[in-house]
Amino acid sequence: MSPTTVAKLEIKPLPHPDGASGGLNAIIDAVEEHINRSILLLATGEPEDAPDFTTWLEGKELPGESDLQKPVDEADLVDKYTDRQQEVKSLTANLDRENKSINDSQVAAFSLSNNTYRNIAKIVLELRDTLGEDAPAPTKGVDGVYRLSPLAEIGLLLALLDAADRVHDEVQDAANGIETHAGDIAGSVPNAPRGYDNNNGGVPAASNAYRPAPASKASYRITDPPDPIGEALRVAGKEVGTEENDEAFGSKPYNNGSAWCAAFTSWVWKEAGYDVTWTDFDYVPAVWNDAEALDLRRPSPADAQPGDLIVFDWEGDGTPDHIGIVETVSGGMIHTIEGNSSDRVQRLDYSMNAGEVVGVIKPPPTGSGADVRV
């Protein structure tokens, strides 16, 4: 019997019904990545860490199953999802990044005959039929565009949330009952932030394994570059679209052979003319710890400015695990450029109130002066 692989475990893309709104399409993609995340964590022996999509929706104050089952205004509920679709897309992109951090060696011992996995496969099959051949037909609007009716969209949203809940329940039920495969997870550390246990190629990266942030030894030298913020954004923007599988990635200065989001932001600041010596420049918890020691943390994400570093906690465990560059701030949204997001450099957007945003780090002061060390 051949070993199980990540490709065998992940579900095929869910169908998108004709005439679906942007909000519905975003939820379909997010549920797909949530299901994949649950399956992969089940296979790696960490089902207790599987995400709960309903909890995420509640945190975002988006309509849940109870709201959809007794809608007061169907069109208004659909609009709420459409208006917030960028936040859903950001979640999907980061779940995809998390899923890609799991490699075949971590799931090789998992059996496809596992009862929980088979139950999830049945749930996915039902959902695929609901979104595909059984999906309602769109109707032509007065503008000549074919769309699903609000009532039809609500029915499909309910099916998606129900499937996500059932998958989550299956995996949580398995958490205390399955025979885990932790011994087959090379280099894994329980409760470590995703991305610190394996390098880009899926090889255990002991040098970048999760560890508590060390005591800060950071410092910065005050420099006087002409336009550091503009240069930081120019440098970061030129890298957008760079992917790990690009041949040129091997020579990138931020390619550290492991989780490289912090290496990317450290490089961008250096190119902009800031001279910061981090305790560990490519380790997010250390950078966040250093920012406090150097008094570079802004009071809240609402104070974010272009050129700042933005820090995330995608696991929700109190340990920061991802970092990017703030490009712009507008209308309560923070627009970023991030390295190692879905294995590439890309632009993303977040609400200032997003629960996954830990905080922002301002650049050191510029001008004439002396070294500052803490």
pLDDT tier for residue 206 given thresholds of 50, 70 and 90: very low
Q: Mean per-residue pLDDT for 134-149?
A: 90
Q: Where in the chain is the domain with CATH 3.90.1720.10?
A: 210-373
pLDDT in tens, 94-113: 888 888 888 888 888 888 77
Please give the structure tokens belonging to residue 153. 């969209």
What class is the 210-373 domain?
alpha beta
> Which pTM does this prediction carry?
0.51
pLDDT in tens, 19-69: 998 889 989 999 999 999 999 998 888 888 888 888 888 887 777 777 677
Out of 27-31, 170-174, 203-207, 223-227, pick the least confident. Answer: 203-207
Considering the chain, what is the average pLDDT of its residues?
A: 83
Distance CA 46, CA 172 (A): 10
**Higher-confidence position of 77 and 224:** 224
Distance CA 16, CA 244 (A): 28
Q: Look-up: residue for tokens 């002396």?
A: 370
pLDDT tier for residue 2 given thresholds of 50, 70 and 90: low
- At residue 214, the pLDDT reads 64
Yes or no: say if 321 and 194 are a contact pair by the CB < 8 Å rule.
yes
- At residue 354, the pLDDT reads 80
pLDDT in tens, 236-253: 999 999 998 888 898 999
**Higher-confidence position of 312 and 174:** 312
Residue 329 pLDDT > 80, yes or no?
yes
- At residue 28, the pLDDT reads 93
- At residue 164, the pLDDT reads 92
pLDDT in tens, 256-306: 888 899 999 999 999 999 999 998 888 899 999 999 999 999 999 999 999
- At residue 79, the pLDDT reads 81
Distance CA 276, CA 221 (A): 7
